[in-house]
Chains A and B, each alone.
Chain A
Amino acid sequence: MAQESAIQRKRGSEICQAEETRSGWHYRPHVDIVEHADELTLHMDMPGADAKKVDIRYENGLLSLHGMVEPRQPEDTRYLMREYGVGNFHRTFQIGETIDDSKITAEYRDGVLVVHLPKTEAVKPRKIAVRTT
């Protein structure tokens, strides 16, 4: 197919979500994944995380993102209203083999983690010039 994506497609457009057991509770953050000509870009909402405690691993096509979030208030805080919990974030994605894992970069700004996953040279679209003889 011409529009073959770098992400393995499973169950229609669903990206395969790996199951993993972790100790402790964690939240499943909202993620946008956008494919450009030369890279996949992943945006993940992780408010209140510490950039130094964001752990990104890419192994065997599995991208795992983990953000440690320390409680912002003491444990014994008595809330008048509590509509959300604060805790660690975790998500895992199965990515195709077309990512150059040595060039993955990430930045954290305004509570959003952005991960750049550059495609390998082999899968980047090329424009072929047609010569006339």
Chain B
Amino acid sequence: MLARRINGHPVHRLRDEMDRLFEGFFQDTPYWNTLGARTYPPFNIWEDNHNLFVEAELPGMKMEDVEVLVSGKELTVKGSRSIELTEQATVHRQERPSGRFARMIQLPVDIRANDVSAELKEGVLLITLPKMAGVDPKRIEVKCASK
């Protein structure tokens, strides 16, 4: 499995790079002291005027498997995924990652920690973080100094 075929396409290469990170984290090493531990799960982050949005793909997990913590500007997503295989079964291929994970990131703006919400739907976690009032960038009117 480590000798994963590198496809020519950049997207596949990126995916493979990421896959390797996961593999190192989940399967071979103690979870907490590897570099890989900080890179799972991968995040997509975007914003609108009022909220920051953090999204992560967590297939096979339910909300009770996942913990979302906010402290100041720090967001932590942690949890675990267990994949149980019965003893009578023969495993032909095992690529899906399992185990515990935790990732902390620094948010770019102050948020209202009490109003943070998270939903997990079809394996996609979406965290909505309302921005603190006053952190919206304000448009500054530039006036011409008329003589």
Contact = CB atoms under 8 A, between A and B. Distances in A.
Contact of B58 (A32, A47, A72, A85): A47
A43 to B, nearest CB: 6
A77 interface: yes
Contact count band on B: 35 or more
B28 interface: no
B1 to A, nearest CB: 9
A47 B46 contact: no
Contacts of A43: 60, 83, 96
B33 to A, nearest CB: 21
B97 A81 contact: no
Interface stretch (A34-42, A56-64, A99-107): A34-42
B106 to A, nearest CB: 11
B9 A110 contact: no
Contacts of A18: none
B92 A25 contact: no
Contact of B61 (A13, A35, A77, A110): A110
A33 B92 contact: yes
Interface in A50-95: 72-73, 77-86
A36 B88 contact: yes
B99 interface: no
A33 B86 contact: no
B28 to A, nearest CB: 16
B12 interface: yes
A36 B11 CA distance: 35
Given A27-B15, A72-B124, 10 more contacts: A30-B96, A31-B96, A32-B93, A33-B91, A35-B90, A36-B86, A40-B92, A83-B43, A83-B44, A110-B61
30 contacts: A5-B90, A17-B5, A25-B9, A28-B7, A30-B96, A30-B97, A31-B95, A33-B92, A35-B90, A35-B92, A36-B88, A36-B89, A41-B89, A46-B123, A47-B124, A48-B124, A72-B124, A77-B46, A78-B46, A81-B45, A82-B44, A83-B44, A84-B42, A85-B14, A85-B15, A108-B122, A110-B62, A111-B57, A111-B59, A112-B123
Interface of A: 3, 5, 7, 13, 15, 17, 25, 27-28, 30-37, 40-41, 43, 45-49, 72-73, 77-86, 108, 110-112
